[in-house]
């Protein structure tokens, strides 16, 4: 009927790490998953994450290379820091496709514009649902449309990357103002290629020159680019009766910019809770409350990492070297990792 708004049990806005994780846990019900890109077609990150998480969601086929240590470069020193949790680089498309195969949702390729009169408004029509989940990344399209000021542009980092042919076996971070001030650079090897990137904690988008210089210092040329903003400020994960998951809720960690693992784990938990709501085991209110508690439990850690992120640019090179040296000592690294890891 003309003008009738189609109703779903659950609408999930955004079909990347967080959205696909939420959807994978909802086995019953009528679900609509919406994204402006085809699933897995729009990589924005270096896709470095934990092997455990990738295996937990059955996406090990997407693993490109694994690492047992981080290598930190300062102006004049290179330090290997072993990490108790094995990391890997993944093929974004493969990961998303594998995770997407686990859901029963209808997929709509459309641009989401916001919420109007409780309907989700998209370029492909308007839709209603009892349960709405915003997984649209840093611009949190739905949460921001019902709560003005939800996205604080002062709390965004910006990163840009290129993947070029290059062989390496180390996951490298660079804290060196000659490469980028108030930020970091990285090289994440894949298989025969590596993702070279630079990121600005200040959200500076004019960093292409920094990337080009960084890449050319390895005798290479910048290829195709990708990247974008990410929010490093943990935010309210429940807005009205909407779940907000992943980068949309600021679940990317400050300092390292690691957000994939957390988006997936928070998404899985959110999906489990929603399934219990659909099964009438708990009310929606109780589900929202449970998710909120879970998502905010690392608040202090975010605050500590944010403090470190703010202090980092002011540290002298010798101080950076002293920190790296400390972290290269096994037991110290283990303790630091425990604080960092959390989930």
44 in contact with ligand FAD (CB under 6 A): yes
Q: Nearer to ligand FAD by C-beta: 255 or 320? A: 255
Q: Nearer to ligand FAD by C-beta: 159 or 283? A: 159
Question: What part of residues 202-241 is at the interface with ligand FAD (CB under 6 A)?
Answer: 227-228, 230
Only segment of 31-39, 55-63, 273-281, 318-326 that touches ligand FAD (CB under 6 A): 31-39
Q: Which member of 9, 42, 275, 276 binds ligand FAD (CB under 6 A)?
A: 42
Only segment of 23-31, 132-140, 277-285, 289-297 that touches ligand FAD (CB under 6 A): 132-140
Q: Nearer to ligand FAD by C-beta: 248 or 270? A: 248
Q: What is the 3-state secondary structure (H, E, C) of 198-253?
A: EEECCCCCCCHHHHHHHHHCCCCCCCCEEEEEEECCCCCCEECCEEECHHHHCCCC
Can you tell me the distance from the alpha carbon of 169 to that of 67, in angstroms, rounded to the nearest whole number? 8
Only segment of 52-60, 242-250, 268-276, 316-324 that touches ligand FAD (CB under 6 A): 242-250
The burial class, CB within 10 Å (0-12 / 13-18 / 19+), for 199 is buried
Q: Nearer to ligand FAD by C-beta: 38 or 279? A: 38
115 in contact with ligand FAD (CB under 6 A): no
Shortest-Cβ-distance residue relative to ligand FAD: 259
Q: What is the 3-state secondary structure (H, E, C) of 113-139?
A: EEEECCEEEECCEEEEEEEEEECCHHH
Q: Nearer to ligand FAD by C-beta: 29 or 195? A: 195
DSSP 60-117: GGGEEEEEEEEEEE-SS-EEEEEEEEEEEEE-HHHHHHHHHTT---EEEE--EEEEET
Question: What is the contact mask toward ligand FAD in residues 55 to 94, using x (rule: CB under 6 A)?
Answer: ----------------------------------------
Strand partners, 120: 115, 127
Q: Which member of 24, 49, 162, 193 binds ligand FAD (CB under 6 A)?
A: 49
SS3 at position 191: coil
Q: Which member of 63, 112, 156, 268 binds ligand FAD (CB under 6 A)?
A: 112
200 in contact with ligand FAD (CB under 6 A): no
Can you tell me the distance from the alpha carbon of 314 to that of 274, in angstroms, rounded to the nearest whole number? 44
134 in contact with ligand FAD (CB under 6 A): no
Q: How many residues does the chain have?
A: 343
Question: What part of residues 138-197 is at the interface with ligand FAD (CB under 6 A)?
Answer: 139, 141, 159, 161, 197
SS3 at position 290: helix
């Amino acid at each position: 009927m003309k003008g009738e708004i189609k109703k779903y049990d659950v609408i999930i806005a955004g079909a990347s790490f967080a959205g696909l994780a939420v959807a994978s846990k909802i086995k019953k019900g009528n679900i609509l998953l919406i994204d402006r890109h085809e699933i897995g077609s729009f990589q924005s990150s270096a896709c470095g994450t934990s092997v455990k998480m990738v295996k937990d969601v059955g996406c090990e086929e997407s693993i490109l290379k694994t690492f047992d240590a981080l290598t930190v470069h300062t102006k004049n020193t290179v330090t290997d820091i072993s990490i108790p949790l094995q990391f890997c680089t993944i093929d974004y498309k493969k990961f998303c496709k594998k995770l997407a195969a686990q859901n029963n949702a209808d997929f709509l390729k459309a641009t989401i514009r916001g919420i109007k009169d409780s309907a989700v408004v998209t370029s492909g029509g308007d839709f209603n649902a009892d349960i709405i989940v915003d997984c649209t990344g840093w611009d949190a399209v739905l949460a921001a449309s019902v709560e003005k000021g939800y996205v604080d542009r002062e709390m965004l980092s910006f990163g840009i990357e290129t993947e070029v042919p290059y062989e390496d076996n180390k996951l490298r971070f660079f804290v060196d103002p000659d490469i980028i001030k108030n930020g970091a650079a990285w090289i994440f090897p894949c298989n025969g290629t590596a993702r070279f990137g630079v990121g600005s904690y200040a959200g500076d988008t004019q960093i292409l020159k920094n990337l080009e210089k960084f890449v050319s210092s390895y005798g290479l040329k910048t290829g195709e680019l990708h990247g974008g903003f990410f929010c490093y400020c943990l935010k309210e994960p429940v807005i009205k009766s909407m779940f907000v998951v992943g980068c949309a809720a600021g679940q990317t960690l400050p300092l390292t910019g690691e957000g994939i693992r957390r988006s997936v784990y928070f998404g899985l938990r959110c999906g489990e809770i929603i399934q219990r709501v659909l099964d009438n085991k708990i009310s929606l209110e109780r589900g929202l409350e449970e998710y909120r508690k879970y998502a905010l439990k690392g608040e202090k850690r975010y605050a500590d990492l944010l403090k470190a992120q703010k202090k980092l640019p002011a540290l002298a090179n010798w101080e950076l070297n002293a920190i790296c040296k400390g972290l290269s000592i096994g037991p110290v690294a283990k303790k630091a990792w425990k604080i960092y890891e959390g989930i």
